[in-house]
Amino acid sequence: MTQPSMPNDYPEGSLDGAAPEPATAALLSDLGRAGVAHDTTTPVRADHGRDWWPLSIRDVAAGRVPHWPGVVVRPTSTTQVSDVLKIAGRHRIAVTAQGGRSGVVGGAVAPSGAIALDLTGLSRVLHLDAVSGTVSVEAGVFGPDLEAAVNERGWTVGHFPQSFDLATVGGWLACRGAGQYSNRYGKIEDIVRGLTVVLASGDVVELGGRGPRQAVGPDLVQLFVGSEGTLGVITRATLALHRRPVSERRAAYGFISFREGLEACRRILQRGARPAVLRLYDEAESLHNFAVSSCALVVLDEGDPALVEATMHIVADECADAAPVDVGIVARWLEHRNDVGALAPLWEHGIAIDTIEVAGPWAVLAEMHERVVHELASLADTIVVSVHQSHAYIDGACLYFTFAGRPEGDPTEYYRGAWDVATRAVLQSGGALSHHHGVGRNRARFVAEALGSAYPVLVSLKATLDPLNIMNPGVLGVGGQPW
């Protein structure tokens, strides 16, 4: 598969300002002796100085490159990744692991002068165990390629994030991602069974992979899932599979209020039903997406017919007091669920827009929703705030807020302020800082508060595994200054 492009591209011709000098001749010479492909051309370095962090869109449109990596390195094996990290350690140069760079919080933005470690050359689906129902895959494989490979054998990974066409397996794992069918198949931390990780020292460690669960001390696999390239580089993973579904059912309901819809979702999950898709939209998003004037609940389940039938029976039972809505809105959601085409034009026309996904227990979700909406709407330049519930569990759910504002001039102050007030409202309500986008640079300044007394443990882990602070410094709030 050809690597997908970013939501907007640098303009044709020269960039704004001269590119700084690339990596030193000594570093490039070491990479050459190790036989690792690398690139110092201006367009490639510019492109790898960004991910999908919305704040970068205006810079790209204007030809500005806020961060120039010194070199883009493209290994094709775990051994080559190990060689690169050993070289980086000798030269005391930062390394940012990158896949499809579809993250939206700046986690794959290589700092100025750093090595941008492009892992898309690790692109093989290695082995499918048809008895156990697992697949071994390299970190640089894109979602559609992996799904096509396992579909041929009658399986599915079941992991379909909005960035499905654009993200790699390594990115899913590094950011602790969620697919849109996660209620049925789990988030990526539920799907992963084993990892190969290269540490900052260049040492290669094999983790897990010996069974679905084990009790051999702490789960070291989960130590690296969500570590965003700050503790090591994931190069290979073993993932659990599911049989391809043979049955599907859809339904749609309308609720008078978002709070009432949340209550129905809670009852459904706490009765043991796990519909693959259970997405509740507030009035603004229901009207915009589906031309529905109430709070729309989109439901889809797939799998064994008996399980699907039982699940949808529970859904119907718990939504009995809701208004019926045309089930065709489910097809509309499916058709447009990965569409992010409007993002770049809005930013380029002076509208700062972003999404904030968080999580919390059912007991605080309704209050947290109202509090975040109030704080964002109170900002002088905000023009719209909306929300939907996108992933649900027996004890809580993910809320996915969208905000847009039209500030005068540079939008950075408004954008940062919006994140500040929303995040404080979430944390003060008892919610979690992120559900599936991760921390990156955008949220790094909140990590100490979000983790509280556990934050020093993360700092100690970073110091132990990466004493030179070369692994994605600053991301996850460790090893460098946050944004």
Query: What single string gives the DSSP state of each residue in 334-372?
Result: HHHTT--TTHHHHHHTT-EEEEEEEEEEHHHHHHHHHHH
pLDDT (0 to 100) of residue 18? 83
Q: Are residues 392 and 450 in the same domain?
A: no
Q: Over the stretch 112-159, which tens digit does the pLDDT of each residue have?
A: 999 999 999 999 999 999 999 999 999 999 999 999 999 999 999 999
Distance CA 300, CA 251 (A): 7
Q: Are residues 157 and 202 in the same domain?
A: yes
Q: Go through the chain and tell me how many residues it has.
A: 483
Domain membership of residue 1 (yes or no) is: no
pLDDT (0 to 100) of residue 163? 94
pLDDT (0 to 100) of residue 340? 80
pLDDT (0 to 100) of residue 8? 81
Domain membership of residue 58 (yes or no) is: yes
Domain membership of residue 206 (yes or no) is: yes
Q: Are residues 285 and 325 in the same domain?
A: yes
Torsion of CA 262, 439, 242, 180, to 10 degrees: 40
State which residues form the domain around 132: 125-243
pLDDT (0 to 100) of residue 443? 97
Q: Are residues 263 and 320 in the same domain?
A: yes
Mean pLDDT by 10 residues, the chain (483 residues): 71 84 97 98 94 90 92 98 98 98 95 97 98 98 98 98 96 98 98 98 97 95 98 98 98 98 98 98 98 98 98 98 97 93 87 97 98 98 98 98 95 96 98 98 97 98 98 96 85
pLDDT (0 to 100) of residue 483? 84
Look at residues 243, 259, 292 and tell me which one is the last residue of a structural domain.
Answer: 243
Strand boundaries in 257-339, DSSP class E: 277-281, 295-303, 323-324
Domain at 317, CATH number: 3.30.70.3450
Q: Over the stretch 231-240, which tens digit does the pLDDT of each residue have?
A: 999 999 999 9
Domain membership of residue 11 (yes or no) is: no
Tokens coding 459 = 């700092």
Q: Are residues 272 and 380 in the same domain?
A: no
Look at residues 310, 336, 362 and tell me which one is the last residue of a structural domain.
Answer: 336
pLDDT (0 to 100) of residue 58? 86
pLDDT (0 to 100) of residue 346? 92
Domain at 158, CATH number: 3.30.465.10
pLDDT (0 to 100) of residue 2? 57
Q: Are residues 163 and 61 in the same domain?
A: no
Look at residues 73, 91, 121 and tell me which one is the last residue of a structural domain.
Answer: 121
Domains identified in the chain, total number:
5
